[in-house]
Structure 1
């Protein structure tokens, strides 16, 4: 009976144990169902296609997105146990079998797959991962994402970048960019070639641009780069001296920002040598135009006043001369005045004609060797009458056989004007000394008088036409100042220089120099 009771007790215990196992299985099934429901909800909410196959290529799991794509591609409703390779044509079957086999051999693979639908190409990024249980690969899990739009956008962006790079590479400007460590991010061909020709360094991406510069230029460009890298946008013009020519380059420096943070700087350099030359020419033309306007005003001033005045005197005195002669009166004094006025008018006309020729560019420049002393004696002889009227001695202190290489006619004009001025501003009984000196490069001449001198404030006005500066002589001789201007232009045509040393009330020394040309 005890044996029967024991057997019965065991039966009860077995039943209780079985009931517990059944309850545990129920709980496990519920947990599995909940997990499966959660998994299905998770994969069905994805915009990507998700599926898995077993080792025989049969579908095990798939989400709604894959189910819809499968129906659209093959016209079939997918179901568990369906062989994934059976519906494919031979080429696709070989392709997918190779990929699945790689995953079934334990490899994780990613690849791009293109599928045509409705005459359009759709591009997918596919990832295959082996499913492993107890160390054994039992299947493959797959994820496929449609990247067609991203690919199109990337292709468009790449095309735009290629076009932009092509434009920057084919422009005449130098273009380059650096990061915050001065390393090159981009250079176009123009900048790369110019840099190589200037410094012998071939630039590549990642090269430190600052260290590629010569030592002398490094601190200069570091300051510029640092300004751009500190978020300052600016431009400047650089003058590059290559020995036989100066090039002007305008450089624009621009910081590059990302999320309001400077990540580098870009630079554009444009050769503006021709533009600079045009601007300089424009400024020069403007200055020349002002000079021409001043010249015109001076010309009309001379015509209207200075030239008219001596001729009025000549006409009036000649009329008086006729009247006095008819009366039988002494006319010598009137004749001397007429002579003086005539010479004054003739000197003015000569200077005016010569000056107008220099302004129009019609005067010839014919340098030759000649003896200065002989030329000067001719001018002194021509001024003797004027000098005797004021009892002025003219001393030619230039040595015989002193040679100069110059335009003989122009230098004669210079001596004539300077000698006339020296007599004009000398006192009665004065003296004019003319001498020369030379060094290795120049021969210089000086005309010294002991007359009234020139105020310091007036010296700078002597050789400028628009100053309209003229001072009466010691006998109230009138002039226009045109003679000194003509002297300056003639001497500068010889690459020489003209200047004046003077002390007010104590006389003046006018000097000019001519380059020495070796025989």
Structure 2
């Protein structure tokens, strides 16, 4: 095959420097730190493609007549993992006829210029080699370009691709082996984690003579690691004496130990809790020859017990049990702590009842007596004084346990709820203060709504009156006329802001109701436009209307507020002499209202924050009119109350279009 390759591609004599580059590349590829197969192979493709001046590098898998792309470079080549081709439509069909490197410098001038791959993709240069794993074909590694290979492939390119093919085959094989081993290990670990208890045989001194395989999953030791070791050497030093005194003697006397709990050290050096049952194995002479043990890890159960104990302490909950016939009372440690008594001290029912002061004592006696006599349960919260004189609130819960209709015992819990009671009292107090603050605030809103609105209406009226009286005296576009217009516009803006604020506050307090009725949308829109006409005229803005009578269900006052705000915004952000278009039309069961302006428009960042209460944009208009961003938020909430929607389309410098969709019914 090498002779055939030389006829297709004349080899070029090169310097030792080029060979050294390719050897360094092979070293770089083979010494990658990543252990992830895809990362390794894709890096190899990248480095090789760039060094030999190709555009595309591919590692394929070939099965029968199917060619599948498994790895490729560059990422934007248009290829994807798993992409399939018919083998005969790829240059690799040429490669697989060889057992060595195939290189073609200029496909159109070669004997393969009519190959289906050339006709489909016009790839002019190509170099590749088959990849073999254990003598079996895996696929190919190849590099190609739509440009001819200037000067042709050099001898070290052949060596590079040949060695690279061998490295890929070895790397894929190693990954397969590692994957297979990992799967076997995972299966083994799964079996181990669900294995039975640890079964062992010891001599009479505790030395392991047999250990079941489950020791690996329970203690981390293999059976071989434990054989010959003394069991006692793994036991926690605090538990050894207990075991020697309570179990070892019984075992020597041939007595079975049914259950004993202790701590044992695992291979990691951590102590876990063990529960063991040990049976003596006697010889013919009746003497104990060996000990057979069955052990299990009870660490989780112990943790639950400790957590329960900790939970009792954290929640200040103690448990108790009372035997009616013997008058004996049993407490958990936490109950002693609540009473502030020494743990384990002698207690009786009559004494502990004395800790309840005044009427609380009568109440606790009453519920206990009723529980004993009737078998009732109780749940009561009472004041309480500890042995140290600490005043607390406690919740006492008790349940009677009866037999043959007679209460034999009682049990329950006793919880220190002082913090909860104090918190509840604080909440009640804070609620009262909040009610008073709310009442004061509502009075303030009432004053603002009545007095300030009245004052603004007076200012607006006076400004309008001044303009009318002085229109024949003051020249048009004079400084005085401008100031009067500015005065009127400022007062109008402030008035609109005040109305928006009051409406928005009422909505936040849920103090606003939708009074839907049959309305003529045209009438509401035209009235809203007429109220804003003077503001538009002052800026020389023409408002064009395309509105028709449409009957729908809605709150005319709320919708008027929406339309006024949208029109006001359009005027505010439109230059002098501009144009605003307002239209309304019916769409089956909805109404579409559109307010379109030729104003300054908005960028995407502003559009995204238009209806955000916490990040509303505040922009000045084309005549420096102030904007708070509150109007659109109010519009959105009022439209939402009508089960409608609002959207916006805008480009900076090209104006904005607001579209409102409302249901007809």
TM-score interval, normalised by the smaller of the two chains = 0.3 to 0.5
TM-score by length of 1: 0.38
TM-score by length of 2: 0.30
Normalized per residue, which structure has more helix? 1
